[in-house]
Copies of this chain bind each other. A is one copy, B any other.
């Protein structure tokens, strides 16, 4: 017992100012309006600084951070190796009329690293990559329909949204087909019912939706999907934006024993420097060359320098192995601590991106959202930044001591529930 309880006075004051000049105050996945911070009062709204596995909020509270900026922070905040490479490039130039040749170095490194990458195309948002993937698949196949797995997230472009969302039209999603995750029979049926009309299947490597246990692929599932695509000429798009490099440096498709036709990267690509990538197979390269797709900062050099340093360091330290070990130790420790207090903590997804859910102690595994939220709140108020409805992210700089502290805080949080 005895971890100090945070207060968030200054965060609250800044949030009041924010509400006047920014819609929602804080928007999107980092904002309370999205429900990320339920119960809101337990979470800090604004950060002041960050280093390694920690960030400090506007009130000076320190957090062991298990969200890693929702993914980009893969080596630790302000990693010296990455920051030095970026600073060196910045002194030469960043966003210039003619691109720096470092874009070629980065593309060569990615095609050497990622098993299914014959080429690389760089942009800024994960959603730029998923949108370009869908356009490329449609241009290549001259077909319209795209298969999604229910519970998907592929960014915020209109084609990824739902028709009942504000401002989204039925035309935006008119060619979307939805299939339950891991249901290869239903998928085969949808292909049969839409013969010759399916341009692509787009999917995360495993299902990491919100407010639900994450689900790994069933044995042989990916091989069946791959075969259906091959048999029908549909393009297989893997959205590796969240999972990329955390499971396997050669791509999460490689991790699960298959090859994508197009694979989308973003978050862990450059340790927080602003870049995303679409990589793919040679047979789609010419098609993509004919598509007009560009943006103001897409060939800026600094994120490429950061990306090269980030990938080289991830390789050198064997990041996926290390995150698996850290994630497994953390997961086992949290489950055992819960059990000690009579609680049933379910941890799903890959250990490097663990999803937490506290089940009803009396209910044989039934979810207990309120209980779970209360526990998460007790963790966050004591400086462990976890969330109640989203997968988490580990990073290289998280220490064994950090994990030990996390489990000690969990012990106290369970005891006060």
A127: which B residues are within 8 A, CB to CB?
295
Q: How far is the CB of A359 from chain B (nearest CB, A)?
A: 26
A90: which B residues are within 8 A, CB to CB?
78, 83
Partner of A121, one of B23, B128, B131, B136: B23
A104: which B residues are within 8 A, CB to CB?
14, 17-18, 21-22, 46
Kindly report how many copies of this chain are found in the complex they form together.
2
A99: which B residues are within 8 A, CB to CB?
26, 30, 46-47
Known: A100-B48, A385-B97. A136 touches B22 (CB 8 A): no
Provide the bound-state CA to CA distance between A244 and B25, in Å: 24
Known: A23-B289, A157-B131, A295-B28. A97 touches B78 (CB 8 A): no
Mask, A65-92, CB within 8 Å of B = 1, is: 1011111110001100001000000111
A29 touches B294 (CB 8 A): yes
A157: which B residues are within 8 A, CB to CB?
131, 157-158
Say which one of A49-57, A349-357, A371-379, A400-408 lies at the interface with B. Answer: A49-57
A276: which B residues are within 8 A, CB to CB?
296
- Quick one: which of A1-42 are within 8 Å of B by CB? 14, 17-18, 20-24, 26-30, 33-34
A134: which B residues are within 8 A, CB to CB?
167
Known: A21-B104, A92-B48, A119-B22. A72 touches B159 (CB 8 A): no
Known: A18-B103, A124-B297, A144-B169. A97 touches B67 (CB 8 A): yes
Please give 15 more A-B residue pairs, beta carbons under 8 A apart, in addition to A50-B96, A73-B97, A135-B166. A18-B104, A21-B120, A22-B104, A28-B294, A30-B294, A72-B296, A73-B96, A126-B295, A138-B169, A140-B167, A156-B294, A157-B158, A167-B287, A171-B172, A241-B296
